[in-house]
Amino acid sequence: MNWTRTPLLAMAFTAAVASYAWAAGGPPGHSHGDHKTELPFGEPGDPKKPARPVSIVMTDGDGKMSFIPSVIEVKQGDQIKFMLRNNGISDHEIVLATLEMNLEHAKEMAKNPDMEHDDPNAKRLAPKKTGEILWRFTKVGEFDFSCLIPGHREAGMTGKIIVKPATAAK
């Protein structure tokens, strides 16, 4: 082996591992399992604290897919318990993120359509099944939720979360 190339090989290997980690698990700082990391769109909720319930229904039919409702307004600091129901005939998922993150993740899903999520901001549901996501919105802004199963977002399965500043108590 030519040892003068070893640093170059090490850098290439590190870059390959980092690229795989991004593709397999999302961006740096991405939450997995029980890890609690604040992301640009908030952080996993605390089950010991109160949460406002918000129902989201996943539907499909006639080539159109959707979330009902498709726009949700919350206040900064709100902890939301998304109560999910798949009323469709296909598997669906919901992924909370920034629009940019979801569009990037959709590219990875196109390459790996059977990718399952083990993240506090995502849930995949079989037809007629229910699930929950507990999330705390710490940042003001507009955020995305989408079904990233290939073709679903393009068929209309996307929505927006508008996080408004918390108002001062009177």
Query: Residue 32's CB: how many other CB atoms inside 10 A?
Result: 12
Assess whether pLDDT exceeds 70 at residue 7.
no
Assess whether pLDDT exceeds 70 at residue 164.
yes
pLDDT above 70 coverage of the chain, percent: 76
pLDDT in tens, 55-109: 999 999 887 999 999 999 999 999 999 999 999 999 999 999 999 999 999 999 9
More confident residue, 48 or 115: 48
Pairing of strands 141-146, 92-97: antiparallel
What is the pTM for the complete model shown?
0.75
pLDDT in tens, 36-53: 567 899 999 999 999 999
Q: What is the pLDDT of residue 36?
A: 54
Closest CA to 169 of 49, 48, 77, 73: 77
C-alpha count within 13 angstroms, C-beta hemisphere, residue 169 = 0
Question: What value does the mean pLDDT of the chain take?
Answer: 81
For the chain, give the number of residues: 170
Assess whether pLDDT exceeds 50 at residue 20.
no
